[in-house]
Chain A
Amino acid sequence: MVVTDNNNFIENITANEKAVAAIWNLLEEVYDPEIPVLSIIDLGIVRDVVLTSSVNENIEATIVITPTYSGCPAMDAISMDIRLKLIEHGYKNIKINTMLSPAWTTEWISETGKEKLKAYGIAPPNAKQIVCDTKLFVELEAIQCPVCNSYSTKLISQFGSTPCKALYQCQHCKEPFEYFKCH
């Protein structure tokens, strides 16, 4: 890089940052197909956005995502939705990479994501992260009912309608509900 190009260089960098920020904003509009109130940003599954431009000005957007659970069928749908969203906004060259390490954890769900979950009727993961261990016949966590806010709730099953949720019932208002389990 020669000195005279310096301004140009800096301009290019900020332009790239802006373009990356624009993509992050677009990804806010891609929702989890199973829990349509959560964006993939809320879920914390987008790990990186990289833009590279080659000689022919053909910008390549690489989106790095990580699966919540190994077998989560939503991942294929999410990849497709990311692609469609970016195509819609003029990106032609899109690469979606899956990264397994570090493994996804519910700690990456944003605070707004947790609020949205509760409003939707799904108990959000507890603030204090207590993940499943091999201790038997014990309920490790007190889960708050998303309907009446009572903590008098009972685990029905560790497994629910999607890999990320467990089934609970409120002892107070009797409402069955799902809990987005710590993972």
Chain B
Amino acid sequence: MQQVNSANNQTDLIELDSGKVPLWEGFREAFILHLADNALILAQRNSEWCGHGPVLEQDIAITNISLDLLGQARNLYQYAALLINKEPHNLSASSLHSGGKEVTEDSLSFLRTEREFKNCLLVEQPNGNWGYTILRQYLFSVYQFLLYGQLQYSEDENLAAIAVKSLKEVTYHVRWSSEWVIRLGDGTAESHKKMVQALEEVWSFTGELFLPEPYENEAITGFDLVALQHSWLQQITNVLKEATLFSSALNEKVFMQSGGKKGLHTEHMGYILAELQFMQRAYPDAEW
């Protein structure tokens, strides 16, 4: 186990719109929860397609991706729980104080409140049409591919192990979603029109992926968000060009939505959690 960042002990307050919220956990825990929340919420979103996909094989594909993301989220939550239980004084958030019990992967996903979730806004947006879902998956998968590509060399052995494992799976996601972005973008007039519209809608949620939070800067040495953004832009530009979706407007400064990584979510997040957490909230400690 790596030495815990000294910043873990700080109890500073960070300014949020709503007033002051305690920075209740250490940077490394926050970073891992951020990665886990991204995976969990997109898994939950994609799973909405189960039984509703346009063709059977692609319905199976998106739900497989959902399952991979859920598995990654579990690995990350388990590791976060391990760290939090080791340094419980980092923990002052009321929703995690479940009667002095240890934190688990389940309490982290089922009992945290909206403000405690650190997923980016991109993953919580409604699925829209199939083209929008595919495009969002593509943009996010390339991000995850490059992210895990960096983390696999992290000196945090547990995080590196999760990254290596996840990278194998994300490779399939990148390949599948790239091919579909190209097929749909460079497909019929109708599919092209829908993909152009999807890109317009989704684009303003992509900037947040690369807006550094303190926990991203501090948690892992060598984690380079700027390099990540550079490679991401390069890779998606190539595919979007092939999909006849690229427009030079993408490189211009457009207003980017943000807040999710700080815990400030769009209205959609509450509905997701209501569904995701309903069972544990209604029947505490219920087991499968």
Task: Please give the residue numbers on chain A whose beta carbons come within 8 Å of chain B beta carbons, in ascending order.
Answer: 67, 69-73, 100-103, 131-137, 156-161, 163, 167, 183
Provide the B48-90 mask, 1 if CB < 8 A to any CB of A, else 0: 0000000001101100110111111011000000000000000
B162 contacts the other chain (CB 8 A) = yes
Distance A157 CA – B176 CA, assembled complex (angstroms): 9
**Which chain B residues lie closer than 8 Å to A100 at the CB level?**
75, 158, 161-162, 164-165
Contacts A70-B71, A101-B160, A158-B61; is A136 near B175 (CB within 8 Å)?
yes
B182 contacts the other chain (CB 8 A) = yes
Distance A134 CA – B169 CA, assembled complex (angstroms): 11
Shortest CB distance B208–A (Å): 24
Shortest CB distance A178–B (Å): 11
Contact (Cβ within 8 A) A159 B162: no
Task: Please give the residue numbers on chain B whose beta carbons come within 8 Å of chain A beta carbons, in ascending order.
Answer: 57-58, 60-61, 64-65, 67-72, 74-75, 145, 157-158, 160-162, 164-166, 168-169, 171-172, 174-176, 178-179, 182
* Pick from B60, B69, B160, B169: contact of A157, CB under 8 Å: B60
Shortest CB distance B212–A (Å): 26
Contacts A69-B71, A70-B72; is A131 near B168 (CB within 8 Å)?
yes
Contact (Cβ within 8 A) B179 A163: no
Report the number of A-B residue pairs with Cβ-Cβ less than 8 Å.
85
Contact (Cβ within 8 A) A134 B71: no
Top-4 shortest CB links A-B: A71-B71, A70-B71, A101-B161, A159-B64
Shortest CB distance B32–A (Å): 14
User: Max chain A CB contacts within 10 Å: which of B75, B158, B165?
Assistant: B165
Shortest CB distance B139–A (Å): 15
Contact (Cβ within 8 A) B164 A103: yes
Shortest CB distance A25–B (Å): 29
**Which chain B residues lie closer than 8 Å to A157 at the CB level?**
57-58, 60-61
Contact (Cβ within 8 A) A134 B72: no
Contact (Cβ within 8 A) B171 A70: no
* Pick from A72, A131, A136: contact of B71, CB under 8 Å: A72
Contact (Cβ within 8 A) B165 A167: no
Distance A134 CA – B174 CA, assembled complex (angstroms): 7
Known: A73-B67, A133-B171, A160-B60. 16 other contacts (CB 8 A): A67-B165, A70-B68, A70-B71, A70-B165, A70-B169, A71-B67, A71-B69, A72-B71, A101-B165, A132-B168, A132-B172, A133-B175, A136-B178, A136-B179, A157-B60, A158-B61
Shortest CB distance B172–A (Å): 5
**Which chain B residues lie closer than 8 Å to A156 at the CB level?**
57
Distance A134 CA – B142 CA, assembled complex (angstroms): 10
Judged by DSSP, the binding face of B is: helix
User: In the complex, which residue of chain A has the Cβ closest to the Cβ of B288?
Assistant: A76
Shortest CB distance A123–B (Å): 17
**Which chain A residues lie closer than 8 Å to B176 at the CB level?**
158-159
Contact (Cβ within 8 A) A71 B160: no
Distance A69 CA – B169 CA, assembled complex (angstroms): 8
Contact (Cβ within 8 A) B70 A71: yes
User: In the complex, which residue of chain B has the Cβ closest to the Cβ of A105?
Assistant: B168
**Which chain A residues lie closer than 8 Å to B158 at the CB level?**
100
Shortest CB distance A42–B (Å): 20
Shortest CB distance A95–B (Å): 16
Contact (Cβ within 8 A) A101 B67: no
**Which chain B residues lie closer than 8 Å to A167 at the CB level?**
57, 60
Contact (Cβ within 8 A) B70 A159: no
Contact (Cβ within 8 A) B67 A137: no
User: Max chain A CB contacts within 10 Å: which of B160, B166, B172?
Assistant: B172
A to B CB contacts below 8 Å, 7 in the list: A67-B71, A70-B68, A71-B69, A100-B164, A132-B172, A158-B172, A159-B61
* Pick from A101, A137, A163: contact of B68, CB under 8 Å: A163
Contact (Cβ within 8 A) B161 A103: yes
User: In the complex, which residue of chain B has the Cβ closest to the Cβ of A72?
Assistant: B71
**Which chain A residues lie closer than 8 Å to B68 at the CB level?**
69-71, 163
Shortest CB distance A64–B (Å): 13
**Which chain A residues lie closer than 8 Å to B179 at the CB level?**
136-137
**Which chain A residues lie closer than 8 Å to B160 at the CB level?**
101
Shortest CB distance B267–A (Å): 28
Distance A100 CA – B60 CA, assembled complex (angstroms): 26
**Which chain A residues lie closer than 8 Å to B65 at the CB level?**
159
